[in-house]
Amino acid sequence: FLIVLVCLIFSVLSTIEQYVTLATGTLFWMEIVLVVFFGTEYVVRLWSAGCRSKYVGIWGRLRFARKPISIIDLIVVLASMVVLCVGSKGQVFATSAIRGIRFLQILRMLHVDRQGGTWRLLGSVVFIHRQELITTLYIGFLGLIFSSYFVYLAEKDAVNDSGQVEFGSYADALWWGVVTVTTIGYGDKVPQTWVGKTIASCFSVFAISFFALPAGILGSGFALKVQQKQRQKHFNRQIPAAASLIQTAWRCYAAENPESCTWKVYVRKPARSHALLSPSPKPKKSVMVKRKKFKLDKDNGLNPGEKVLTVPHITCEPVSEDRKPDHFSVDSCDSSARKSPMLLEVSPAHFMRTNSFAEDLDLEGETLLAPITHVSQLREHHRATIKVIRRMQYFVAKKKFQQARKPYDVRDVIEQYSQGHLNLMVRIKELQRRLDQSIGKPSLFISVSEKTKDRGSNTVGARLNRVEDKVTQLDQRLVLITDMLRQLLSLHQGG
């Protein structure tokens, strides 16, 4: 882009008499460089287009060459070559050649946006706001033709100071209208009569406002498009966090399952038998210590933080007959673990000892544990540790997901609050419906006149008090009926 822009600047300078010699000579060599560069790029892009299935073969290359941007590139390259070959005389261009190169440099600016992202963005914004744009342009066009027509009627016989008619035809009035409503104002045609000036001022205010609306609509459309892309990026950040949360939640649930498939990921495959001792032509004085690290084991599918239930084996490295075995090597039990990222290989300089006795003391306290190769070897404390680690991973993933779910801007916060308020109102209505089903509606207990007198009686507390009073009255009546029945029973038995 910078090279094309510099070339365009030199092309502009070549039209100025003071810089013609310098700009033309520099432009000659820059055009040669650009033609070679763009020509090579076009050939390489045409050759590499076969990596896509629809551009494979000769017909696929032709399909690629028929794309609009490819056609523009080909025209620019071929035309530049023709201009350089035919229009140049030594290092000085002919006038026609310079004009042709200026036009080609304008076309070359289209090469900067080869993917067409700018045009796609503009097209999407125009398509989304097409109704508003059509409306404003239609009303603005109506204002233009009406204002031009009325000004033409008022000014067709008016003569200016030089004795000429400013608006001799309707085309002159349309030209004045376009220049006026687009706020250019050349001043070559001006209304002479007060009637024409009044009509022009009234219609100008109306038409100019509508002709300025498309710029605001497109500007707001671009802003909304950028905001939409930012929202999409913010939403895409939530997808990995949500996937991690779902994965850790499922693993926490699976940890409670006693099935063996849950614990198979923590079991190491049996090591292949191989010779631990191998003769060495030249003995080395080194101690290789490979220790376990509690991190991801990609071969066994372990998660970060989960433990590998194996430890390395200690083997003795052979030495020559004329040297004493003054060092040991701590190595893994299988060759695959030698390249595993779980084991840390330490430089020999950090573990060199002055005598073999110190080395024996260091390695004496280490306990060798056989690798776990079956699920049945996992004990309860192993399972409990795995459950704790999985639970911790779940809480970490939950926290990350909550951080990713933070609102993007104030509008998102307002939207969340409005959604929460709507959910709250729905729950309140549901609670009100259940209360009406349980204790009845207010109209069942009080009349319309009582409603207007005391609105406090319509509250839930008042309704509950009325229900309790009704229940108390019903209880008293039941007690009275029971007493009467007992009296009747006693009289019947006495008679």
Q: How confident is the model at residue 51 (pLDDT cuts 50, 70, 90)?
A: confident
Q: How confident is the model at residue 260 (pLDDT cuts 50, 70, 90)?
A: low
Q: What is the mean pLDDT of residues 359-375?
A: 55
Statement: residue 469 has pLDDT above 80:
yes
pLDDT at 80: 74
Full-model pTM: 0.47
Exposure pattern of 411-440 as b/e (b: 16+ CB <10 Å)? eeeeeeeeeeeeeeeeeeeeeeeeeeeebe
How does 216-229 read in b/e, with b if 16+ C-beta sit within 10 Å?
ebbeebeeeeeeee
Pinpoint the alpha helices (H) of 49-116.
57-65, 68-86, 95-108
Check residue 442 and give its pLDDT.
62
Predicted local distance difference test score (pLDDT) of residue 92: 45
- 83 vs 232, more confident: 232
Closest by CA to 312, choosing from 358, 347, 343, is 343
Return the ∠ at Cα 286 (arms to 280 and 290), rounded to 5°: 100
Residues 65-116 pLDDT 10s: 888 778 877 877 777 777 677 655 444 455 555 555 556 666 767 666 666 7
Q: 481 vs 271, which has greater pLDDT?
A: 481
Orientation angle between helical segments 2-13 and 95-108, nearest 10 degrees: 150
pLDDT confidence band for 396 (50 / 70 / 90): very high
Does the structure show a pLDDT above 70 at 333? no
Please tell me the predicted confidence (pLDDT) of residue 100: 57
Average pLDDT over every residue of 395-411? 80
CB neighbourhood size of 463 (10 A): 21
Rounded distance between C-alpha atoms, residue 78 and residue 85, angstroms: 11
* Separation of alpha carbons 78 and 191, rounded Å: 52
Greater pLDDT, 18 or 175: 175
Residue position matching structure tokens 């993933």: 397
* Most confident stretch, 14-18, 225-229, 471-475: 471-475
What is the spatial distance between Cα 202 and Cα 146, in angstroms, rounded to a whole number? 11
Q: What is the pLDDT of residue 1?
A: 64
Determine the pLDDT at residue 90.
Answer: 46
The 10 Å Cβ neighbour count of residue 327 is 20
Q: What's the distance, CA 289 to chain centroid?
A: 45
* HSE toward the beta carbon, residue 310, CA cutoff 13 A: 24
HSE at residue 425, side-chain half, CA atoms within 13 A, is 6
Distance from the first to the final alpha carbon of the chain: 122
Burial of 373 (0-12, 13-18, 19+ CB in 10 A): middle
242 vs 184, which has greater pLDDT? 242
What pLDDT, on the 0 to 100 scale, is given for residue 349? 42
- Token pair of 418 as six digits: 């409005």
Tokens in use for 52? 């896509």
The pLDDT tens digits for 302-318 are 444 444 333 333 233 44
